[in-house]
A and B are shown apart, each in its own frame.
Chain A
Amino acid sequence: MWRITIKKLPDKKGYFGQYGGRFVPETLMPALQELEAAYSKTQKDKSFQRELKYLQETYIGRPTPLYFARRLTKHLGGAKIYLKREDLAHTGAHKINNALGQALLAKKMGKKRLIAETGAGQHGVATATGASLVGLECEIYMGSEDVQRQSLNVFRMKLLGAKVNEVNIGSRTLKDAINEALRDWTTNVRTTHYVMGTVFGPHPFPMLVRDFQSIIGREARKQIIKAEGKLPDYLIACVGGGSNAIGLFYEFLNDAVKMVGVEAGGRGIETGEHAARFAGGSIGVFQGCKSYLLQDDDGNVLGTHSVSAGLDYASIGPEHPYLRDMKRVQYTYATDSEALSAFELLSETEGIIPALESAHAIAEAVKLATELPKNKILVVNLSGRGDKDVQQVARIKGIEL
């Protein structure tokens, strides 16, 4: 018997159990309250919802397909693998679901300017796209290490009219980009909306981003029932901040479906060079919320490593440790080399080049499908396309383009 019922969270203070909250400088507190109020108004605003739906269908291209990966399934010889094709959403990843929603919201709030952090560049591209769609200025913060490994996306953002600021402090990756974006927001909060790219940061961001992303699971649930006449046995998604994962999982939380989140195992947990917050972290307060964090004994944040820029982050959205404590979602990790193998396997068997982030989810699907019998069904979130990673993979393989 299935007995878990997951409450609708967060609570009034933005908590999922003991995780979440709002740990930011006072300058930003009123903006967060304003955002929370504006967001709750748009949820009841029929014309806002109509416009959002219209753009989801005609601009993003929703619903994205749920695709049965026949050749991959056959190759592995076990459970059936379905792919939720967020790679086919406009701009090439799930990030647009959130960025478009927040761009509309910011416009409604009368803001003039959007800012965002980006790791893989997908959220930066999505925010720049949202900004040009609704007619707002846009500035993106990106760590210089990520600028280098995701150079294609940097140029895309510029083409879309955004200014890209390289961040040259700290580890020069996603967390440093978030620090800089928060500093910009603190300075320009009256005119600017910060488009947080994942289910992280101070309340209401983890809730609001989840809500915009939960369309993934709402579609997938209908699609799998139509295709198979029943619910799947497993859902699998990669977890950076955790937005594509929660986006897929949310609609299924009270169903008898197992869920697996896949973090970045980097060069292996024992090397310390990874971004597996559950395998190597502890509870901490970082960049606006309480959650799991890779930190030292003094509470300073540790450097992380992943082949995938989008998973290379020291903390994780606060709803995830809650779901883990409730034993509702299980978290594991895939290493760089497992993700790279999955990247090639999916390309060769299905003609789909996945984002390196999504390749972590594929790697877990490969393991699980192999162990499970043929009548089991897996749904994997293919959160993005891999075009942005092609140069990086060539570099790793020592191939000059």
Chain B
Amino acid sequence: MNRIETTLNRLKADNKKAFIPYIMAGDPDLEKTMEHVMLLAECGADIIELGVPFSDPLADGPTIQRAAERALKAGVTLKRIIPFVKKLRQRTQVPIVLMTYYNPVFKYGEDAFIKDSVKAGIDGVIIPDLPPEEGEDFIKLSRAAKFCTIFLIAPTSTKERIEQIVSACTGFVYYVSITGITGSKLMFEKTFKSHIASVKKSTDKPIAVGFGVSTPEDAKMVSQIADGVIVGSAIVKKFYEHPAGAKEFIRKLREAI
């Protein structure tokens, strides 16, 4: 069992829900990212998602697009983020999941990426543009290394696809709450509850919901349905636009879940 599974099992036993914040690594530089991670951990983050900046983030809205631009400008790439987590591990054992587009991983080499990540203390990865059918080798290599592969389910996913996706997931299942890109406004579609219920029926793995969760109220609502709540754009925005208020905002999110 790795850090993600241990954490989620413990929460389940305590009847608690996971708070999973996302920040972009290198926005605006890695020193600041270190501070942000420590702050998140201190405020009670259960798992932290670290974004890997990419030149063409096609699943992301303007907030994360701009954050990626800032990080790339600072020269931050996967090759620097992996050793960064290794350094981070001297200070915190909070589970870390990378969220990256596939091309940086492909260019790094799947096998090398998984091995180096595990060695550095990274617990898993989310690759939004890698559906399980394109990730057969990646999944096999990850299983052997006990590296979590977290795939996404969308409101448009069919029953067959849901089954295929949950079986490819380890750690948790990522449920995308809206038909859209990151940072969109959370608007529960009529079928949200029944759709997520059908996901729950098809798996015992924890389900975390993300995309569009931006306020403590959203977080509270989502935590009543899911095992974990992922908050990305709203936190990235807070750290960028109003860093002094970040701590309070994160505290409030934590309390709401």
Contact = CB atoms under 8 A, between A and B. Distances in A.
* A-B interaction: yes
Interface of A: 13, 21-31, 169-170, 175-176, 179, 182-183, 186-190, 284-288, 290, 293, 295, 297-301
B179 A189 contact: yes
B239 interface: no
Given A170-B55, A298-B78, A30 B107 contact: no
B161 interface: yes
A182 B128 CA distance: 13
A300 B176 contact: no
A298 B131 CA distance: 21
B153 A26 contact: yes
B51 to A, nearest CB: 14
B107 A29 contact: no
B134 A299 contact: no
B77 A23 contact: no
Query: Of B56, B79, B133, which is in contact with the most chain A CB atoms at under 10 Å from its CB?
Result: B56
Given A27-B176, A290-B106, A300-B77, 5 more contacts: A169-B69, A170-B55, A299-B54, A299-B106, A300-B103
- The bracket for how many chain B residues form the interface is 35 or more
10 contacts: A26-B157, A27-B154, A30-B156, A179-B57, A183-B59, A183-B61, A186-B181, A188-B179, A293-B103, A298-B104
B112 interface: no
A22 B154 CA distance: 16
Nearest to A169: B65
Contacts of A293: 103
Contact of B154 (A23, A25, A301): A25
Contacts of A28: 156
A287 B131 contact: no
Nearest to A180: B58
A24 B129 CA distance: 4
Nearest to A32: B131
B58 A29 contact: no
Contacts of A22: 131, 133-134
Contacts of B79: 298
Nearest to A21: B134
Q: Which 6 residue pairs spanning A and B have beta carbons closest together? A: A299-B107, A298-B77, A27-B154, A299-B104, A300-B55, A187-B180
Given A25-B128, A29-B131, A179-B56, A187 B102 contact: no
Contact of A182 (B58, B65, B105, B130): B58
B152 interface: yes
Contacts of A176: 56
Interface string B45-76: 00000000011111101000100010010000
B61 to A, nearest CB: 7
B158 A25 contact: no
A288 B130 CA distance: 9
Nearest to B158: A30
A177 B199 CA distance: 34
A27 B211 CA distance: 12
B179 A27 contact: yes
B165 interface: yes
Nearest to B72: A300
Given A26-B152, A189-B156, A287 B56 contact: yes
B103 A286 contact: yes
A187 B156 CA distance: 11
Contacts of A23: 102, 129-131, 134
Query: Of B104, B106, B161, B165, which is in contact with the most chain A CB atoms at under 10 Å from its CB?
Result: B106
A169 B237 CA distance: 18
B33 interface: no
Contacts of B65: 169
A295 B131 contact: no
A288 B54 CA distance: 15
B165 A300 contact: no
B133 to A, nearest CB: 7
Contact of B156 (A190, A287, A288, A298): A190
A16 to B, nearest CB: 15
A286 B55 CA distance: 10
Contacts of A187: 179-181, 184
A353 B153 CA distance: 50
A287 B157 contact: no
B128 to A, nearest CB: 5
A243 B70 CA distance: 35
Contacts of A29: 131, 154, 156-157, 161
